[in-house]
Structure 1
Amino acid sequence: MRVHQTESLTLAGSVAAIGAFDGVHRGHQTVIREMVRKSRSEGVPSVVYTFNPPPRAYFQGAQTLTNPDEKVQLLKDLGVDYVVMAKFDEAYLQRTPNNFIKELSMINPKSVIVGDDFRFGNKRAGDVALLRRHFPVRLMNPVCCAEGERISSTRIRELILQGKQEQALPLLGWT
């Protein structure tokens, strides 16, 4: 697996998943496994486009569940071919939605997998509808635990802060 900075990866085709993927928890693992499966059936590489730091850590000071090296290793273990690790900083925040679409075009995605609340570009001006004008987009439904609650990095962080590691660990799914 190779790790790239933004605008440094060019591919003839790919299947991409975009997101913070903080913690690479069971919900993320479901998305990534589906992306890898689809990329293999299409005969193209799989690409995870992610951020360092995750947006919630940048804007809200949220604790990160994995550092960049841990995240990359977990993605590698899931069979991902390439990771684009965008440096999430003030300069990145100034990028327009069209800048992001232009960059994504460099990997020629046959499919882009995102969550239903995915937003991109300066002031979150880009949305799934805009992304769909340029690429085939697949929305992933939230993954829920046995109790029916959505598995999310926010929920896992809250459990850890409450000292409920025994409830958080199964949601991570990699410990």
Structure 2
Amino acid sequence: MQIIHLDPKNPTTLPSHVLTIGNFDGVHLGHQAMLNSLKTVAQHLGLATAVMVFEPQPREFFNPQNPPARLTNFAEKIALLDRFGVEMVIQAKFNDTFRHLSAHDFANLLKTIGTHHLVLGDDFRFGHDRMGDKVFLQGLGFGVDDLPTVTKNNLRISSTAVREALAQGDLAKAKGLLGQDYAITGQVVHGDKIGRTLNFPTANITLNRLKPALHGVFAVDVMLLDDTYQDGWQGLAGLSPNSLFGCANIGTRPSVHGTDWRLEVHLPNFCGDLYGQTLTVKFLHFLHGERHYQGLDDLKNGIRQDVNELLNWRTLQLRKQQN
């Protein structure tokens, strides 16, 4: 996959391609239907496939102090798009220059970079004047296919619906909309090391987003990016192949007066050094929302209870797998 950083003032001409445009946050089943349609049209026309995404996402740009929760950071999104065989990802930096492009300016930009055909959602609009749509593009000589809204159980599949499910701790519903378990990938970095003093050491995993889409305490499976663990490392097997079982807290840590969002994962019985490793954390079971404990002793007791409950949940799931 090729990643192109789009400069509206000095655009790069790309191989002739079919393009789809959007945030693609989460790459849910609706996005996946769009990508499958993109590949079908491109193959029929003998053109390359391209996806244009915005960084930051427009709503993050307009409201940075209270942005919507982010399902996938840019690296996670790229990995998902690559899995679906997209050949080019065009990263458009959403800033004042870009947002003030008129529909005509944006269409001319598409012509310059080599767009011949577009696959769009049926409600897609573009340009600061909101004049850009399917009919507008066709009038300028572009081929355009639009994809009807994708639904499941009479629910419109959207990033907003996934966010709402995750915010409620409804991982099964989120999985149904995404087509897979919700996961976060990040690097293990040094944290405050408070967990060590409580006898529950944690891996502090970078989020790389302004606000995560879920919070609370969860049972998780943890995988290294290359799916392999070093000799001598120990831990409890997860429910997924090549994974370790973990107990995760994602939130602002009010019990220790935290303010920034953190993803911290405790791996029971683990022995090894994960600093610098890139881990994927797959969220399997929601236990409860983040709690505010009055002191470190109460916090330690609360963590102990959470870990025991999640270990019991793991035991039940393993029995179900064996049966």
- Separation in 2 of the partners of 1:159 and 1:30? 20
Change (3 A) 1:173 1:160: same
Matched, 1:138 2:145: yes
The 5 A counterparts of 1:103-114 are 103-114=109-120
- Separation in 2 of the partners of 1:13 and 1:29? 22
- Letter in structure 2 aligned against 1:102: N
Counterpart of 2:61 in structure 1 is 58
Counterpart of 1:6 in structure 2 is 6
Q: Secondary structure at the match of 1:156?
A: helix
Counterpart of 1:126 in structure 2 is 132
Matched, 1:32 2:38: no
Bigger mean CA offset, 45-54 vs 2-11 = 2-11
Cα contact 2:15–2:48 (8 A) shared by 1? no
Segments of structure 2 that go 5 or more residues without pairing to the other structure are: 182-323
Task: Name the structure where strand makes up a greater proportion of residues.
Answer: 2
Bigger mean CA offset, 94-103 vs 119-128 = 119-128
Q: TM-score by structure 2 length?
A: 0.51
Query: Structure 1: which 4+ aligned runs deviate by more than 4 Å?
Result: none
Looking at both structures, which has the greater relative contact order when contacts are Cα pairs under 8 Å and sequence separation is at least 6?
1
Segments of structure 1 that go 5 or more residues without pairing to the other structure are: none
The 5 A counterparts of 1:77-88 are 77-88=83-94
Matched, 1:158 2:164: yes
Q: TM-score by structure 1 length?
A: 0.90
Q: How many residues align?
A: 174
Counterpart of 1:19 in structure 2 is 22
Cα contact 1:6–1:103 (8 A) shared by 2? no
Cα contact 1:54–1:64 (8 A) shared by 2? no
Cα distance per residue 1:28-59 (max 9 Å; x no partner):
01101110122122221101011112223334
- CA deviation after TM superposition for structure 1 residue 89, in Å: 2.0
- Letter in structure 1 aligned against 2:3: V
Cα distance per residue 1:83-122 (max 9 Å; x no partner):
1111112221111212211111024333201112111112
Change (3 A) 1:98 1:111: same
Identity %: 37
Change (3 A) 1:9 1:74: farther
- Separation in 1 of the partners of 2:19 and 2:172? 32
- Separation in 1 of the partners of 2:22 and 2:174? 20
- CA deviation after TM superposition for structure 1 residue 76, in Å: 0.8
Q: Secondary structure at the match of 1:5?
A: strand
- CA deviation after TM superposition for structure 1 residue 12, in Å: 4.7
Counterpart of 1:117 in structure 2 is 123
Cα contact 2:103–2:129 (8 A) shared by 1? no
